Homo-oligomer: A and B are copies of this chain.
Amino acid sequence: MAFKYISSKENPYFKELIKLKKGYSANSLFLVEGKDIVFEAYKNSCLKEIICVEENDVTKQFNNIKTTYISKNLYKEISSFQSLNQKIIGICKKEYSNNLGKRCVYLDNLQDPGNVGTIIRSSLAFNFSSLVLSLDSVSLYNSKVIQASKGAIFHLPIIHNDLLSICRGYNIYLTCIDGKDIMEVDKLIEPFILVFGNEGKGIKKEYLVLGEKLKINMSNFDSLNVASAAAIFLYKYSQN
């Protein structure tokens, strides 16, 4: 297989990579970085191409995958890391299912890619069936989302959609700073959608009438990171 080498910022292929890094993809392609997660993509048949700085032991593992070499300077521009510790990026594609299952997590207008990736990881760890991102949330294809998910993105059905388009037939549970204390709610009734809101503003007002509000009782400081709150909810309502 022929290898390409790119060192110009004007190269059209490189320009496409920059778009992918930002989460813009017409073909649902996305980037993952670092050998562990690239290998995870490979195992799940999601790895389409590899980009790296130089040939090494890692790249040799993927000898049936199209490989492009790029200069260090270009690599740094598409990398999510400031150091050059990770020297391999995979271009991935995943087939998305619209089957949300009985235990769906919904993220309403989440903006921090680290939070979204972390919640994807927790959703998988605690056996939720799918995750839906609102249309105004950070893109699922944002490289930091993928990175923070640590490969969980390859295992969980995840789509972008609007809550109003998917809520029919589901019990809706809304995580808030008021509402019923989760200590008093042993179980969520399936099929359900568990909704988490924006980092600063919480869940959109118009959604608050759709179901039951639930809260975490805090001793102090009444404020939790949304991914931390999600971890507590997802653990509490995990299915063994």
Contacts and interface: CB of A to CB of B under 8 A. Distances in A.
Nearest to A231: B228
Interface in A116-137: 118, 121-122, 124-127
B238 A235 contact: no
A45 interface: no
A121 B125 CA distance: 23
Given A231-B231, A232-B232, A220 B127 contact: yes
> How many A residues touch the partner, as a band?
20 to 34
B227 A239 contact: no
Interface in A11-55: none
A222 interface: yes
Contact of A227 (B152, B218, B227): B227
Contact of A219 (B121, B125, B217): B125
Given A114-B114, A231-B231, A231-B232, A126 B225 contact: no
A224 B238 CA distance: 14
Interface string A138-153: 0000000000101010
A155 B121 CA distance: 30
A83 B199 CA distance: 17
A74 interface: no
A125 B218 contact: yes
A231 B228 CA distance: 5
A65 interface: no
Nearest to A230: B228
A227 B155 contact: no
A224 B121 CA distance: 6
B225 A124 contact: no
The 7 residue pairs across chains A and B that have the minimum distance between CB atoms: A228-B231, A127-B219, A231-B231, A125-B218, A118-B225, A124-B221, A232-B235
29 contacts: A114-B114, A118-B227, A121-B221, A121-B224, A121-B228, A122-B225, A124-B220, A125-B220, A125-B221, A125-B223, A125-B224, A126-B218, A126-B219, A126-B220, A127-B219, A148-B225, A150-B225, A152-B223, A155-B220, A219-B238, A224-B231, A225-B227, A225-B231, A227-B227, A227-B228, A228-B230, A229-B231, A231-B232, A232-B235
